[in-house]
Structure 1
Amino acid sequence: MKRINKLFESQFLLDPNLHMWVNRFTEDFTVPYHEHDFIEYCYVAEGNGFHHIEQEIFPIHKGQLFVVPIGVAHVFRPVTPARSSKPPVVYNCMIDLHLVAQLSRFQEQRIQEHLSSLGNKNTSYFSVIDRDGAIENLMVQLQREVSINDPGSITMLHSLLNQLIVIVYRRIHTDADAPATKTADFNHVIHFLEQNFNQAITLTELSRYSGWTTRHLQRLFLKHTGQSFHSLLQHLRIQKSCEMLRNSSLKIGLISELVGYRSIDSFNSVFKRNVGLTPSEYRKSSTS
């Protein structure tokens, strides 16, 4: 069944003089699945949970930034309603098309085209990892300037927004600008891992497959994914197990084997640590 999307409109959420707004919001279960008539930069600052976006569900963690174009439906959710969990805390930077047009005048043509694509309802979302804290710093400054509204705040906001747009654009295209052979080779490594995540795969095996040393592979995983090899492998296994728990009636013991865990106790422990619920609790919450 297709979810019904609520439309969040800029006239009710954005400052009409600024044509934007920035908030720091602790996500809960009251915000509906929604799309909006403005562009949104969402930065995960704390906690954990899930990002439901388009037809996908992603575990989220600190340092992720999602760019949500006009017309793309999404919502952030905590792992569980329990107070003991740490819900996601997200900075939301919302800008309307009027401000986009203003900012575009100071950007290069390729970035102008990038901004235009975010408003034409034909572009999917994308995400980047804030490895050096630059994006978080900009979000903090943006939220502060919106809140204080001091003399010069509009000029400062436009400067900060332009920096955010450029930094995110550069992060998106870093791999595209890298030497094609190196990027392609590492993409083969990722593809190999995605196809064999349920095997007893090791970094040493990946080293033999790729021809790179284990130490260099560790650096490449951090550079290209923002995670270590072991964290990414665990993420792939948990993500696949979540899909199986939501969409099948397979026994949990069988699911644990299918995603690469030889011990159901180990699977339960890792799943609870990453998701905040046991596999059976997650299955019950996702089907209720």
Structure 2
Amino acid sequence: MNGRVKELRGERFFDLDIDIFVNRQQESFSLCQHTHDFVEICIVGEGCGFHYIEDQVLPVKQGDLFLIPIGTSHVFRPSSPERDKVLVVYNCIFRNRAIENWRHYFAEDSEMLRMIYYPHERKGRWLQFHDKHNTLQAMFHNMHWEYLKRNQGCEIILTTSLIQMLMLLQRLEMERDFTPSPNNKLEDVLHYIKNNYSKNITAQHVADHFYMSVSHFQRLFKKSTELTFIQYLQNIRIQKCCDLLESTDISIHETANLVGYLDMKFFHALFRKKTGVTPRQYRQNYQEPKID
């Protein structure tokens, strides 16, 4: 990122005896894009605007929630510097050790848990949800009020509230289907693959594009299409190759390259497996006049 990215360190926020901090912030244009050395969960409480996160700019509105791992640069900004354009964000930041005693309650294959404990393995990624029923927003309100009051037992209430929130996020992550938001519809996923099949795309690339863990994406894809991602991608590529062999005189080598295959040995083996003939035989069979 550029030189405007700053690092916000936890020492500015945490008390000596508690590893959780909660605040309510009316966003402005004064804060630069920044990284931090703590985990952050943030939710848009009021208004709308934009979330600048890594190299993306995401429009946000009330109820949009993000889990942001250590080292991910971001900043929220309202849609305009005008005073009537308000963007209020609630933030809950915490150190890993705040939930260490509760870690065994979470699924080990959870993308959320990996982001919290192993952020360098998922550099530059985050999780995004939408709080449709205001459940999480109500929890943020209560945690913020508890943090401000600092009554006896504040630490245990904040800790258990954080655990409850993370458990709800894990449920959303694990149960999230292709249907909850337009970006996750199966039709959009298939459209994305059909538009990018000739590139060096992987299940990881597609999962990242639609804000899902790769294991969750592969599970849902197989459930919805009865094919693995690789099987579906291969079918698309071979079908496009067949179309080119039928309609053009492009060389077989160039045809393979155009649909995404550079390894000709692998391409020939896969083509024969899918069609029962070699690319040359396929072209000859199609172009030879048939006798009734």
> TM-score of the superposition, structure 1-length normalised?
0.59
Aligned residues: 189
**Would you say 1:13 and 2:13 are equivalent positions?**
yes
- Aligned match of 2:106: 108
After TM superposition, give the deviation of residue 120 of structure 1 in Å. 2.5
After TM superposition, give the deviation of residue 193 of structure 1 in Å. 6.9
- Aligned match of 2:94: 95
- Aligned match of 2:23: 23
**Would you say 1:59 and 2:56 are equivalent positions?**
no
User: Tell me, which stretches of 5 or more residues in structure 1 are unaligned?
Assistant: 197-288
Q: Is this contact kept in 2: 1:111–1:169, CA < 8 A?
A: no
**Would you say 1:172 and 2:170 are equivalent positions?**
no
**Partner secondary structure for residue 133 of structure 2:** coil
Q: Which amino acid aligns with 2:99?
A: V
Q: Is this contact kept in 2: 1:38–1:119, CA < 8 A?
A: no
Q: Is this contact kept in 1: 2:6–2:33, CA < 8 A?
A: yes
Per-residue displacement from partner, 1:176-200 (whole Å, max 9, x unpaired)? xx6x9xx9xx73322367799xxxx
Q: Distance in 2 between matches of 1:69 and 1:132?
A: 25
Q: Distance in 2 between matches of 1:119 and 1:109?
A: 13
**Would you say 1:118 and 2:116 are equivalent positions?**
yes
After TM superposition, give the deviation of residue 2 of structure 1 in Å. 3.2
- Aligned match of 2:48: 48
After TM superposition, give the deviation of residue 40 of structure 1 in Å. 0.2
- Aligned match of 1:72: 72
After TM superposition, give the deviation of residue 150 of structure 1 in Å. 1.0
Kindly tell me: are residues 55 and 131 of structure 1, through their superposed partners in 2, closer, same or farther at Cα, counting changes over 3 Å? same
Per-residue displacement from partner, 1:25-58 (whole Å, max 9, x unpaired)? 0000111210000000000011111000011000
Q: Is this contact kept in 1: 2:26–2:86, CA < 8 A?
A: no
Kindly tell me: are residues 112 and 191 of structure 1, through their superposed partners in 2, closer, same or farther at Cα, counting changes over 3 Å? closer
Kindly tell me: are residues 81 and 114 of structure 1, through their superposed partners in 2, closer, same or farther at Cα, counting changes over 3 Å? closer
Bigger Cα Rg:
2
Q: Distance in 2 between matches of 1:47 and 1:85?
A: 7
Q: Is this contact kept in 1: 2:20–2:158, CA < 8 A?
A: no
> TM-score of the superposition, structure 2-length normalised?
0.58
**Partner secondary structure for residue 16 of structure 1:** coil
Q: Is this contact kept in 1: 2:110–2:174, CA < 8 A?
A: no
Superposition pairs for residues 138-149 of structure 1, below 5 Å? 138-149=139-150
Kindly tell me: are residues 56 and 112 of structure 1, through their superposed partners in 2, closer, same or farther at Cα, counting changes over 3 Å? closer
**Partner secondary structure for residue 110 of structure 1:** coil
**Would you say 1:129 and 2:127 are equivalent positions?**
no
Q: Which amino acid aligns with 1:60?
A: V
Q: Is this contact kept in 2: 1:100–1:115, CA < 8 A?
A: no
Q: Is this contact kept in 2: 1:43–1:136, CA < 8 A?
A: yes
After TM superposition, give the deviation of residue 109 of structure 1 in Å. 4.5
Kindly tell me: are residues 113 and 131 of structure 1, through their superposed partners in 2, closer, same or farther at Cα, counting changes over 3 Å? closer
After TM superposition, the structure 1 stretch with the greater mean CA deviation from structure 2, 65-74 or 11-20, is: 11-20
Q: Which amino acid aligns with 1:149?
A: R
After TM superposition, give the deviation of residue 17 of structure 1 in Å. 1.2
Q: Distance in 2 between matches of 1:171 and 1:112?
A: 11
After TM superposition, give the deviation of residue 119 of structure 1 in Å. 3.6
Q: Distance in 1 between matches of 2:83 and 2:192?
A: 34
Q: Is this contact kept in 1: 2:106–2:167, CA < 8 A?
A: no
Per-residue displacement from partner, 1:6-41 (whole Å, max 9, x unpaired)? 111111112221111000100001112100000000
After TM superposition, give the deviation of residue 103 of structure 1 in Å. 3.6
User: Tell me, which stretches of 5 or more residues in structure 2 are unaligned?
Assistant: 195-292
Q: Distance in 2 between matches of 1:138 and 1:45?
A: 11
Per-residue displacement from partner, 1:73-129 (whole Å, max 9, x unpaired)? 000011111113233x0000000122132442x623427884353243332111111
- Aligned match of 1:188: 186
Q: Which amino acid aligns with 1:58?
A: L
After TM superposition, give the deviation of residue 3 of structure 1 in Å. 4.6
Alignment RMSD, CA only? 2.9
